[in-house]
Structure formats: C-alpha cells, structure tokens
Amino acid sequence: MSLKAVLFDFNGVIINDESLHEQLLEQLLLEENLRMGPTDFQTYCIGRSDRACIRDLLAQKGRTLTEAELDKLIQRKARAYEQMLSQMDRLPIYPDLEDFIFKLRRTPVKLAVVSGALHSEIEAVLSRINLLNVFDVIVAGDDITTSKPEPDGYLLAVQRLQTKFPDADIRAESCLAIEDTFAGIAASKRANIPVVGIAHSYPFHMMQRVANWAVDYFTDLEFDRLGLATPPPEQPA
C-alpha cells in the first residue's frame, strides 16, 4: 500500500523542547509547594499530554485536582511556555526538519501533527517557523480527553484526513507516524499506523526495539524506503 500521509509528533520531533517542559513543570510544582523527583519527568510526562502529566504527577505526590484546578495549571504552564519561546531569537527546531517537510510537500503525501501539546503551543511554534500552513491536519491535546499511549489522537487525525481528502483513500495502515517516545510509538501502533522512532529523546537502539523503523536524523528517512520518488530540486523562480 502506498504512503498517503505522514503524521508528526510535536515535542521532541519538530521542536527540541523536552528540557524546557521539564523546567516549567519543576517551576509549576514549586509554586504548588511540591518538588519534582529525579525520574518524575520521564515517568509521568515525556510523550504524554500536559493534562495526563500534571494530573498523575500531582496525584503521585498526594494532590488530587478538580478538572477546573487542572485546567488552570495547564493554562499557567502554557503561558509560561509561550513566554519562554518568545524570548528566544531562534527556536530549537530539529536540524533538517524543514528540508524533509518541504520535500514531502512536493509529493502527494498529506501531513499532520498529532500531539498532546495544546493548539496554541503548536500553532505558535509552527507560525514562527513558517510551517503552519504546510500541515493539512493538527490534532492537539485539547482535541481529545486521553493521552498517548492511547491511540485516540492518531485515530482522530486519520478520520480528519479522510474527511478532508475523501478521494485520497487514506487509511491508518497507509500512514506513517514519526515519534520519539515509547508512549507515542505505542499510540501509533495501537492505531495500526506504522511508526518511525527518531532517536531524539532516547538512543537509537531503544527506538529500534519498539518502532517499525528507527533513525537518528530526518536525513536518514530515505524517500525510496517511504515508497516515494525523491522529489526533484526546486527550480529557481
């Protein structure tokens, strides 16, 4: 079956910001008179939505939150994240991402983002690097009530792509996910979507054990292995 869509995770795949989220969560906990443990971020947060991360992180420390309280903490962290990014001259976008995306855009393949991050965060970053309009569908953490490793985000992305492109014959098995975490890889597999594990957050050998295909960099994603002809170089205007 030919490749019809590539579905990108956001944090840790498009933008190298996992350390920023860890800092922000540490600060959030301090403001709640709590402390982040040395393994808390890896255990409760990496690859998961802020809602799932903050809820489980505080529950582990004996703090039960109402949905309203949880919403306030999520929004507080989101504001701090966007403020942090606004102070950066250059965003920590992964090397060769833009070149890979623009090559994909010269093929019939559709593009989507599937992330636990909020729409506001994703759109702020993609707008800043002039990539917002290249994605056909964005599924964010505020679109669904579950978090990776549950497959709901991927299932919704496939559904939205099918609705937007009814003649493209897009199915889960004709898509490819790009993920950097175990939770994300599990989510895509549960949605019956083949997945590339990119070694941004974990070593290559760990990605190789759980993903259908593992790479170190976007440049390792060969178009012939994707079942696509390598697009010709763009001609100067």
Instruction: Find the mean pLDDT for residues 181-207.
Output: 97
Considering the four listed CATH numbers 3.50.50.60, 3.40.830.10, 3.40.50.1000, 3.30.530.20, the one that applies to the domain covering 5-16+93-220 is 3.40.50.1000
The highest-level CATH class for domain 18-86 is: mainly alpha
Domain range list for the chain: 5-16+93-220, 18-86
pLDDT at 229: 64
pTM higher than the cut 0.85: yes
Distance CA 197, CA 54 (A): 25
Q: Minimal CA–CA distance to 183: which of 31, 9, 2? A: 9
pLDDT at 236 over 70: no
Distance CA 180, CA 9 (A): 8
**Strand locations in the chain (E):** 5-8, 110-114, 137-139, 175-179, 195-198, 213-215
CA atoms within 13 A on the CB side of 125: 26
Residue 42 pLDDT grade (very low, low, confident, very high; cuts 50, 70, 90): very high
At residue 209, φ and ψ (nearest 5 deg) are: -70, -30
